Amino acid sequence: EAAVTQSPRNKVTVTGGNVTLSCRQTNSHNYMYWYRQDTGHGLRLIHYSYGAGNLQIGDVPDGYKATRTTQEDFFLLLELASPSQTSLYFCASSDKISNERLFFGHGTKLSVL
Amino acid sequence: AQSVTQPDARVTVSEGASLQLRCKYSYSGTPYLFWYVQYPRQGLQLLLKYYSGDPVVQGVNGFEAEFSKSNSSFHLRKASVHWSDSAVYFCVVTGGNNKLTFGQGTVLSVIP
């Protein structure tokens, strides 16, 4: 089964801080996604990518940048973190354009003080 | 635009009882529908999916869901729940445009 590994598992930073969340997937999936999970909102799509060098804007992109450096690696960047970005972040990957099945990482819990 | 509503934020049932988790979707075309489950401190896992055909689809661990176009619903059911089914359940819709829309999630608590 495909594996998606996120790091770190937990992160605490201060307002205005610089944070990078990392995601690596095996199985050579083309599509990778970053979601945030907040109570009452379910999962909301931040950014996604079709492949190395490609980046697409999701539904809640403000305050976030992303970069897909290789087929395997997808990074989420918060350059000026704010308390509103305190959340649980999930990375996911899929191998079909129809999003038949997403494989999720275990999540990164980010706290911005 | 597509949307998903899970009207029950929390559901509590006794072990061995039957279960229904409700999901209503909004999508103008033909939807692809999914149920995902999130166990504590884990990522989401696919339970089942519906694309077309038989409106009742079977998933893992005895779960099934029924698609209703007339009601715009995709309710999840299980005949007899186990304590290990306690988790958060998400209904998801997509139109095949590479963007999934998640419901708010339903927290299921199974009482032994």
What would the pLDDT profile of B67-103 be if each residue is shown by its tens digit? 999 999 999 999 999 999 999 999 999 876 667 889 9
- Average pLDDT taken over every residue of chain A: 92
Q: Is the pLDDT of residue A99 over 70?
A: no
Q: Is the pLDDT of residue A10 over 90?
A: yes
Max CA distance (Å), chain B: 42
Nearest to A42 among B41, B43, B103 (CB): B103
The stretch A75-86 carries a mean pLDDT of 96
Between A51 and A100, the higher pLDDT residue: A51
Task: Say what the pLDDT of residue B94 is.
Answer: 86
The stretch A32-45 carries a mean pLDDT of 91
Is B103 in Cβ contact with A104 (below 8 Å)?
no
The DSSP-derived string for A6-39 is: EE-SEEEE-TT--EEEEEEESTT-SEEEEEEEET
Q: Is the pLDDT of residue A97 over 70?
A: no
Beta partners for A75?
A: A22, A67
Please name the residue of chain A whose CA is at the shortest distance from the CA of residue B42.
Answer: A106
Nearest to A98 among B96, B102, B104 (CB): B96
Task: Say what the pLDDT of residue A36 is.
Answer: 96
* Residue of A89, A100, A108 to mutate, testing the B interface (most B Cβ within 10 Å of its Cβ): A100
Nearest to B102 among A43, A48, A98 (CB): A43
Percent of chain B with pLDDT over 90: 79
Is B49 in Cβ contact with A100 (below 8 Å)?
yes
Beta partners for B90?
A: B36
Q: Is the pLDDT of residue A2 over 80?
A: no
With beta carbons under 8 A apart, name residues in chain B contacting A105: 43
Q: Is the pLDDT of residue A27 over 90?
A: no
Percent of chain A with pLDDT over 90: 78
Tens of pLDDT, residue by residue over B3-22, are 999 999 999 999 999 999 99
Q: What are the structure tokens assigned to A14, written together? A: 């201060």
Q: Is the pLDDT of residue A41 over 90?
A: no
Smallest CA-to-CA distance from B100 within B14, B2, B29 is with: B2
Task: Say what the pLDDT of residue B98 is.
Answer: 64
Smallest CA-to-CA distance from A20 within A64, A60, A58, A53 is with: A64
Spatial distance between the Cα atoms of B112 and B99, rounded to a whole number of angstroms: 38
Is B41 in Cβ contact with A42 (below 8 Å)?
no
Peptide bond into A8 cis (omega under 30): yes
The stretch A56-81 carries a mean pLDDT of 96
3 state DSSP class of A83: helix
